[in-house]
């Protein structure tokens, strides 16, 4: 248990403390750890985080390094810390600690998220937006803040920050808005593969894909399903591109065409055709693998965004001062990842279970080795006090003398 706490402490020591050193009662890692543990128990706001910290058992607070004379941080302390700490540093501290020894995932999905209640006052981007990266295991590897509504730049920055160590050899998937030469170049620079949809935002590439000889290609996969009041039929075709076609199609090695037939109950059927490009070689990914990657990308819509909106009520949280929206989102992502790393398939029951039994919180933290000093529970030394004493002078008269005593 000591290694779990100290490893968390060591990771958060890398975050720059923006507070004035005068009057600091808690080392910066302490309120950040308490805020994370509160999130793993379902706390949504600063007030709930403060109440959760105050209700933790004494033995658990002692393990975390909370001094008996200091008490637990107040709601204002949580608000000040989470609104002033650099969101990129906090995100990197969380990610670097949770994924230190984990095996790389097969695929990563990148997608944007708007926090609707976190208003910015900017005409071009009225709400706070972030771009998150989630792997095929449902773990959030990191997020990047969108500046001035430019989600494409934020997505490329996410790839750069995660780097070769995390992404080399994996497959990156994203929405059509990220299908660009710059995005592809950034992915290939770190040794990652990519699979991206092609829509009207790249008209020349889209038209060229439509003219490929799809009628001469056999259907590789075919599936049917029923649910939500409609029947669906899907077919997938894969075309291996030769060297002459690759420069016209973003350097891709395979082109994919998916047709979806939908028949809602009591309504006419509709047909949708979607095209994808990927640089995965044919011997590394067949039609079934490509279909799995396409379905897996929508996992970020079903396994991350609803969790943040429903379990953590993110779209109604109105914190908007400084970096508070981004840091609260980092905290939610980290809590979701910790529960999934510990085998949780449903986040809301896991949050309730952690809230019922606080001792489960420490077991969510990965075991690490830390050889540093860790947190210290020491009362700050009191300032010297000026004391006025009376002592006789050479002439026998009493004079005032100031003596500094500790």
The whole-number pLDDT of residue 41 equals 95
Task: Categorize the per-residue pLDDT at 251 as very low, low, confident or very high, splitting at 50, 70 and 90.
Answer: very high
- Tokens read off for 109: 């999905």
Q: Is pLDDT of 274 > 70?
A: yes
- Element (DSSP H or E) covering residue 348: helix 347-356
Detail the DSSP E strand segments found in 31-106: none
The whole-number pLDDT of residue 250 equals 95
The whole-number pLDDT of residue 70 equals 78
Residues 6+ apart with CB under 8 A from 268: none
The whole-number pLDDT of residue 176 equals 94
Read off the pLDDT of residues 76-93 as tens digits, 9 standing for 90 and up: 999 999 999 999 999 999
**DSSP class of 198:** E
Task: Categorize the per-residue pLDDT at 385 as very low, low, confident or very high, splitting at 50, 70 and 90.
Answer: very low
Q: What is the mean pLDDT of residues 362-382?
A: 53
The whole-number pLDDT of residue 6 equals 59
Q: Is pLDDT of 402 > 70?
A: no
* Phi and psi, residue 201, nearest 5°: -70, -15
Of 196 and 101, the one with more pLDDT: 196
Of 392 and 172, the one with more pLDDT: 172
Of 400 and 115, the one with more pLDDT: 115
Q: What is the mean pLDDT of residues 272-294?
A: 94
Q: Is pLDDT of 399 > 90?
A: no
Q: Where are the alpha helices (DSSP H) in 168-313?
A: 181-189, 203-210, 287-297, 299-303, 305-306
**DSSP class of 273:** E
The whole-number pLDDT of residue 305 equals 92
Write the burial class of residue 348 (CB in 10 Å: 0-12 exposed, 13-18 middle, 19+ buried): middle
- Tokens read off for 320: 């908007």
Read off the pLDDT of residues 311-369 as tens digits, 9 standing for 90 and up: 999 998 888 899 999 999 999 999 999 999 999 999 999 999 999 988 787 777 765 44
Q: Where are the alpha helices (DSSP H) in 117-260?
A: 151-167, 181-189, 203-210
- On whether the CB atoms of residues 193 and 170 are closer than 8 A, the answer is yes
What's the helix, strand, coil split of the chain in %, to 5?
Answer: 40, 25, 35
Percent of the chain at pLDDT above 90?
Answer: 57
Of 180 and 386, the one with more pLDDT: 180
- Tokens read off for 3: 């290694």
Length of the chain: 406
Q: Is pLDDT of 132 > 80?
A: yes
Rounded distance between C-alpha atoms, residue 199 and residue 272, angstroms: 12
The whole-number pLDDT of residue 11 equals 83
Rounded distance between C-alpha atoms, residue 244 and residue 249, angstroms: 10
Task: Categorize the per-residue pLDDT at 390 as very low, low, confident or very high, splitting at 50, 70 and 90.
Answer: very low
Rounded distance between C-alpha atoms, residue 101 and residue 23, angstroms: 37
Task: Categorize the per-residue pLDDT at 22 as very low, low, confident or very high, splitting at 50, 70 and 90.
Answer: confident
CA angle 391, 394, 399 (to 5 degrees): 35
Q: Is pLDDT of 377 > 80?
A: no
Task: Categorize the per-residue pLDDT at 145 as very low, low, confident or very high, splitting at 50, 70 and 90.
Answer: very high
Count the neighbouring beta carbons within 10 Å of the beta carbon of residue 404.
Answer: 9
Q: Which of 32, 65, 27, 25 is CA-nearest to residue 49? A: 32
CA distances from 216 to 72, 233, 310 (A): 69, 21, 46
**Quick one: CA dihedral 285, 112, 308, 17, positive or negative?**
positive
Q: What is the mean pLDDT of residues 107-113?
A: 93
- Element (DSSP H or E) covering residue 173: strand 171-174
Residue with tokens 């402490």: 9
Of 312 and 226, the one with more pLDDT: 312
Q: Which of 346, 341, 391, 350 is CA-nearest to residue 97? A: 341
pTM for this prediction:
0.84
The whole-number pLDDT of residue 317 equals 87
Q: Is pLDDT of 388 > 70?
A: no
The whole-number pLDDT of residue 55 equals 93
Least confident of 23-32, 123-132, 301-310: 123-132
The whole-number pLDDT of residue 209 equals 95
- Element (DSSP H or E) covering residue 63: helix 58-64
Q: Is pLDDT of 51 > 50?
A: yes
The whole-number pLDDT of residue 379 equals 46
* Phi and psi, residue 249, nearest 5°: -120, 50
- On whether the CB atoms of residues 46 and 394 are closer than 8 A, the answer is no
- On whether the CB atoms of residues 241 and 198 are closer than 8 A, the answer is no
Q: What is the mean pLDDT of residues 106-130?
A: 85
CA distances from 215 to 170, 210, 233, 234, 238 (A): 31, 11, 18, 16, 11
Rounded distance between C-alpha atoms, residue 117 and residue 354, angstroms: 27
Rounded distance between C-alpha atoms, residue 304 and residue 87, angstroms: 19
Of 46 and 64, the one with more pLDDT: 46
Q: What is the mean pLDDT of residues 199-219?
A: 93
Q: Is pLDDT of 118 > 90?
A: no
Rounded distance between C-alpha atoms, residue 258 and residue 287, angstroms: 11
């Amino acid at each position: 248990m000591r290694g779990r706490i100290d490893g968390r402490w060591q990771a958060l020591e890398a975050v720059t403390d923006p507070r004035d050193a005068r009057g600091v009662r808690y080392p910066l890692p302490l309120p950040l750890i308490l805020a994370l543990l509160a999130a793993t128990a379902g706390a949504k706001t600063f007030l709930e985080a403060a109440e959760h910290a105050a209700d933790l058992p004494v033995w658990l607070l002692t393990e975390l390094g909370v001094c008996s004379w200091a008490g637990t941080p107040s709601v204002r302390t949580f608000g000040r810390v989470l609104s002033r700490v650099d969101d990129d540093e906090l995100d990197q501290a969380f990610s670097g600690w949770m994924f230190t020894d984990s095996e790389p995932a097969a695929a990563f999905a990148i997608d944007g998220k708007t926090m609707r209640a976190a208003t910015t006052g900017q005409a071009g981007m009225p709400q706070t937006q972030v771009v998150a990266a989630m792997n095929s295991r449902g773990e959030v590897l990191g997020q990047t803040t969108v500046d001035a509504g430019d989600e494409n730049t934020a997505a490329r920055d996410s790839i750069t920050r995660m780097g070769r160590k995390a992404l080399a050899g994996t497959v990156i998937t994203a929405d059509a808005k990220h299908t660009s030469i710059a995005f592809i170049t950034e992915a290939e620079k770190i040794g990652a593969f990519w699979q991206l949809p092609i829509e009207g935002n790249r008209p020349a590439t889209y038209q060229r894909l439509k003219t490929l000889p799809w009628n001469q290609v056999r259907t590789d996969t075919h599936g049917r399903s029923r649910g939500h009041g409609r029947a669906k039929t899907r077919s997938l075709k894969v075309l291996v591109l030769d060297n002459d076609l690759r420069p016209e199609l973003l350097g891709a090695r395979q082109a994919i065409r998916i047709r979806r037939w939908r028949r809602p109950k009591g309504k006419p059927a509709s047909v949708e055709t979607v095209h994808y490009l990927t640089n995965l070689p044919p011997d590394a990914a067949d039609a079934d693998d490509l279909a799995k990657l396409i379905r897996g990308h929508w996992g970020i819509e079903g396994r991350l965004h609803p969790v943040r909106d429903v379990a953590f009520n993110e779209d109604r949280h109105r914190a908007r001062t400084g970096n508070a929206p981004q840091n609260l989102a980092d905290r939610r992502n980290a809590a979701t990842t910790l529960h999934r790393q510990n085998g949780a398939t449903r986040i809301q029951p896991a949050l309730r279970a952690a809230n019922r039994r606080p001792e489960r919180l420490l077991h969510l933290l990965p075991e690490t080795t830390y050889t540093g000093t860790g947190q210290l529970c020491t009362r700050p030394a009191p300032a010297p006090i000026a004391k006025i004493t009376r002592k006789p002078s050479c002439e026998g008269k009493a004079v005032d003398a100031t003596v500094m005593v500790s």
